[in-house]
A = this chain, B = another copy of it.
Amino acid sequence: MNIFYNSQHSPVGAFASFTLGYKGASGGVGIGLSGPACQNVYIGAESVDCHGRFSALPFYKENIEHHVETEPTAQDVWGDSDRRSGGQDHADEQVEQAESVTISPFPDDEISRLTTPARDIWRCGDLEFKIYTPSQSVPDMTLESEFMSIDPTITKDALIPAVFAELTLDNTAGASPRKAFFGYEGNDPYNAMRRVDIIDTKNKDAADTAKANDINIKGVAQGGITGIFTDDADVTCALAFSADELLADDIADRLPFGLGTTGLLVMTAKPYELRTWRFAVCFYRAGVVTTGIETVYMYTRHFKNIEDVAGYALKNFERYRAEAAHFDAMVMERGLSVERQFLLSQAIKSYYGSTQLLFDPIAAKPLWIVNEGAYRMLNTLDLAVDQLFFEMLKNPWTVRSVLDQYADSYSYADEVKNGVGEKFPGGISFTHDMGVANVFSAPGRSAYELCGRSGCYSYMAQEQLVNWILCAGVYWEGSRDDGWLSSRRETIEACLASMLNRDGAGVDARDGVMDLDSCETGGGAEITTYDNVDTALGRARRSSYLAVKCWAAYLALSKMFDALGSAGLADTAANQAQRCADTIMRYRRADGTIPALLEDGDAAITLSIAEGLVYPVVMGLFEDMALAERYCVFVSAIKKHFEVALANGCKFESGAWKMSKTSDNSWLSKTFLCQFIAEKIFKRPPDAAADKAHASWLLDPNNALQAFSDQMAAGKICGSAYYPRGVTSILWLG
């Protein structure tokens, strides 16, 4: 099993990752990026028997030629290159550093690795490197405003933009002292690397402040945005043009050097000593970071700069480490297979890497954002509906917050049209997203949707309407937040009206399945979240995948109207659910399959048709025996379809599941949903072979750079890299 895969080690809500695990300059510390920072990361130690020879984990680019004169074609050639490059008779200077130091990667077969949801551990000989990502729950930030703050300690604890690391060197068998090191070569275009030493006596003011604040840290950083820090007084920090220069014995002379592009923390284990050093890998982005809505990171209200983050992180290191162990225990004692543990761990880590908790100082409101992985679209609603199972466990208030953001700022009203372009009343729907990469789109508009299309970038009016309703239902049911439900009565009523209008113009035309496209599409047609898979899954109109979600949405609406005391609307919704189920059943074929498009003659089949079943189950709707009975046959029909599909084309040769028989592009996050449905609802045993195949996709060296990725064309990433959606796997926990 390949162990050289990237994982995103991420704090909560900082849109930041310390990404590590793929060979080469493939990881590093990044804020707000669309992929790994691709920096050199140096973690290693001196060999037992040879002074000056060092081994490191293979997370840097080997054989970098230092001080090479380069053609001036890139912006940083002159900025980052050694000024000596133009030297002539100073060539002798270059050999002033006489001591020869070499760093080589540990051999692959000597490295072992264990990734859990909240930890990642590499072992190599007598060196061990651990990363902790405690992923604590975040208090309900909507209770926090410019004028009011919930318990600042709890908030600060949860929002700290840092992850935690330990390096242990077991020198108990060594008669000589041995150095160890941890550092990186940043590549931010705007800020230099720097050495931080708060205990620096020459800088008396800083030292006094640090002392007063009980901050006693040192480290290396890139400007004020990223850094690696420790509170261990025995550690030495410095910069140089390359890591090897810093492992030479003259490091004391190099301390003040500010031009180095690589920063290391260097420490020494004494003879016969087993020594552990601890570190905080920190992130900080000051000031307004978004446009459209001008917001700051919420953590900037609790930490004044990266040094402050580092001080707090290190002071509370033990507590954070315990939190990580606690989170792991919660997950790991549930008996998941090794493959599922791996998949879930990768999914959770990439999810947190995409989370971004912002604060709008003008509205005095928090904004919870999950960025769409490499695409970085904000709170993409067709992801939110899948990720909500995870958040209902960790931070249910974020689900409500996203629902409110959509209802208040990112909804719109449309008209709908039939196949010959006749227009009819439509109703409310929600945008695909709220913008992209720190740019909020205008209210009522997504960054994604364009008119005049019937494929990628078209509108998703029906899909997003259903997604909002399902999020609302699951949130309300899971939180029993009746106050919120009441406050959204108007929106929920508008949702039902809009659902009806999309089904057909007038009661007689309605069969519970969407027939009318939004006029926002112009001459085009609506699509679903499966925007680049195939027509079987990509087209919205009469999609059976979307129909089952509509059925679930009608059930959720019915339940919500019951709770709101609107019996009439509850009935309307319930009747629509029944109509929808009946229509789907009507298309069953002799072999038990249901076509992907509820039209005559469509042969395509998908696994995704089953997806909608998850919502009533999670909402516990079938605990109402009458309802369970009413849909028993329907659920059985979907199960029958599912089993036939799985046996006839919806599986890859490897055993991996295939969402659509007619496309090689299958999505892991959606597969996890289907696995939950298969096991929980259809009572199928877990498909261990499929799990192995799915894990092998992420482990494939062609894919493993991008941590958790979702869209795989026969096992090769074809989109949705560095992606948060995989947390649907939390459903495996049951």
Nearest B residue to A76 via CB reads B34
Nearest B residue to A433 via CB reads B258
A286 contacts B by Cβ under 8 Å:
yes
Considering the complex of A and B, which 3 residue pairs feature the smallest CB-CB distances, nearest first? A287-B287, A34-B79, A258-B447
Give the contacts of A200-245 with B (CB-CB under 8 A). Answer: 200, 202-203, 205-206, 221, 223-224
Most-contacted residue by chain B among A73, A190, A456, A534 (CB, 10 A): A190
Known: A34-B76, A376-B192, A438-B190. A444 touches B202 (CB 8 A): yes
Contacting pair B439 A194 (CB below 8 A):
yes
Give the contact stretch, choosing among A89-97, A335-343, A394-402, A686-694: A89-97
Per-residue CB proximity of A245-280 to B under 8 Å, as 1/0?
A: 000001001101111000000000000000000000
Most-contacted residue by chain B among A84, A189, A206, A442 (CB, 10 A): A189
Nearest B residue to A93 via CB reads B455
Contact of A439 among B87, B191, B441 (CB under 8 A): B191
Contact of A84 among B35, B38, B84, B456 (CB under 8 A): B456
Interface residues, chain A, CB within 8 Å of chain B?
Answer: 30-38, 69, 72-80, 83-90, 92-93, 96, 189-194, 200, 202-203, 205-206, 221, 223-224, 250, 253-254, 256-259, 286-288, 290-292, 294, 296, 305, 373-377, 435-439, 441-457, 522, 531-535, 538, 662-665, 702-703, 705-706, 709, 711, 713, 717-722
Give chain B residues whose Cβ lies under 8 Å from the Cβ of A96: 452-453, 455
Nearest B residue to A257 via CB reads B450
* C-alpha gap A451/B612 in the complex (Å): 69
- Tell me how far the C-beta of A604 lies from the nearest C-beta in chain B, rounded to whole angstroms: 10
Nearest B residue to A446 via CB reads B258
Nearest B residue to A704 via CB reads B72
Contacting pair B258 A436 (CB below 8 A):
yes
- Tell me how far the C-beta of A358 lies from the nearest C-beta in chain B, rounded to whole angstroms: 14
Contacting pair B452 A253 (CB below 8 A):
yes
Give chain B residues whose Cβ lies under 8 Å from the Cβ of A31: 190
* C-alpha gap A227/B199 in the complex (Å): 42
* 25 A-B residue pairs with CB within 8 Å: A31-B190, A33-B79, A35-B75, A72-B717, A76-B374, A78-B717, A85-B719, A87-B455, A88-B665, A90-B456, A90-B534, A192-B437, A194-B291, A202-B442, A202-B443, A202-B445, A221-B291, A223-B438, A223-B439, A224-B294, A253-B451, A256-B442, A256-B449, A286-B287, A286-B288
Give chain B residues whose Cβ lies under 8 Å from the Cβ of A446: 256, 258
Contact of A79 among B194, B374, B439 (CB under 8 A): B374
- Tell me how far the C-beta of A583 lies from the nearest C-beta in chain B, rounded to whole angstroms: 25
Known: A200-B442, A223-B291, A450-B254. A89 touches B305 (CB 8 A): no
* C-alpha gap A531/B449 in the complex (Å): 57
* C-alpha gap A78/B35 in the complex (Å): 8
Contacting pair B435 A93 (CB below 8 A):
no
Give chain B residues whose Cβ lies under 8 Å from the Cβ of A30: 75
Query: Could you list 12 further interchain pairs (A-B, Cβ under 8 angstroms) beyond the known A31-B190, A78-B706, A223-B438?
Result: A33-B189, A35-B76, A72-B706, A79-B722, A93-B454, A96-B452, A191-B439, A192-B437, A221-B291, A258-B436, A287-B288, A291-B305
* C-alpha gap A721/B74 in the complex (Å): 12
- Tell me how far the C-beta of A541 lies from the nearest C-beta in chain B, rounded to whole angstroms: 15
Contacting pair A721 B34 (CB below 8 A):
no
Give chain B residues whose Cβ lies under 8 Å from the Cβ of A221: 291
Contacting pair A75 B286 (CB below 8 A):
no
Give chain B residues whose Cβ lies under 8 Å from the Cβ of A250: 452
Give chain B residues whose Cβ lies under 8 Å from the Cβ of A84: 455-457, 532
Give chain B residues whose Cβ lies under 8 Å from the Cβ of A80: 34
Contacting pair A72 B532 (CB below 8 A):
no
Known: A438-B190, A439-B192, A719-B86. A294 touches B305 (CB 8 A): yes
Give chain B residues whose Cβ lies under 8 Å from the Cβ of A87: 455-456, 532
Contacting pair A375 B75 (CB below 8 A):
no
How many copies, total? 2
- Tell me how far the C-beta of A411 lies from the nearest C-beta in chain B, rounded to whole angstroms: 12
Known: A34-B78, A456-B90. A436 touches B259 (CB 8 A): yes
Nearest B residue to A192 via CB reads B437
Contact of A253 among B33, B256, B522, B531 (CB under 8 A): B522
Contact of A191 among B257, B437, B441 (CB under 8 A): B437
Give chain B residues whose Cβ lies under 8 Å from the Cβ of A456: 83-84, 87, 90, 93
* C-alpha gap A224/B535 in the complex (Å): 38
Give chain B residues whose Cβ lies under 8 Å from the Cβ of A254: 450
Contacting pair A32 B455 (CB below 8 A):
no
Contacting pair B452 A721 (CB below 8 A):
no
Nearest B residue to A435 via CB reads B258
Contact of A75 among B34, B73, B522, B703 (CB under 8 A): B34
Give chain B residues whose Cβ lies under 8 Å from the Cβ of A72: 35, 702-703, 705-706, 717, 721
Contact of A258 among B439, B454, B709 (CB under 8 A): B439
Nearest B residue to A723 via CB reads B78
Contacting pair B442 A203 (CB below 8 A):
yes
Give chain B residues whose Cβ lies under 8 Å from the Cβ of A445: 202, 256, 258
Contact of A86 among B202, B448, B522, B711 (CB under 8 A): B711
Contact of A259 among B83, B444, B448 (CB under 8 A): B448
* C-alpha gap A256/B439 in the complex (Å): 13
Contacting pair B203 A443 (CB below 8 A):
yes
Nearest B residue to A718 via CB reads B86
* C-alpha gap A37/B189 in the complex (Å): 10
Contacting pair A224 B256 (CB below 8 A):
no
Contacting pair A75 B663 (CB below 8 A):
no
* C-alpha gap A83/B93 in the complex (Å): 51
Give chain B residues whose Cβ lies under 8 Å from the Cβ of A90: 455-456, 532, 534-535, 538
Give chain B residues whose Cβ lies under 8 Å from the Cβ of A522: 253
Give chain B residues whose Cβ lies under 8 Å from the Cβ of A718: 69, 85-86
Contacting pair A78 B253 (CB below 8 A):
no
* C-alpha gap A103/B717 in the complex (Å): 33
Contact of A373 among B78, B190, B203, B223 (CB under 8 A): B78
- Tell me how far the C-beta of A54 lies from the nearest C-beta in chain B, rounded to whole angstroms: 22
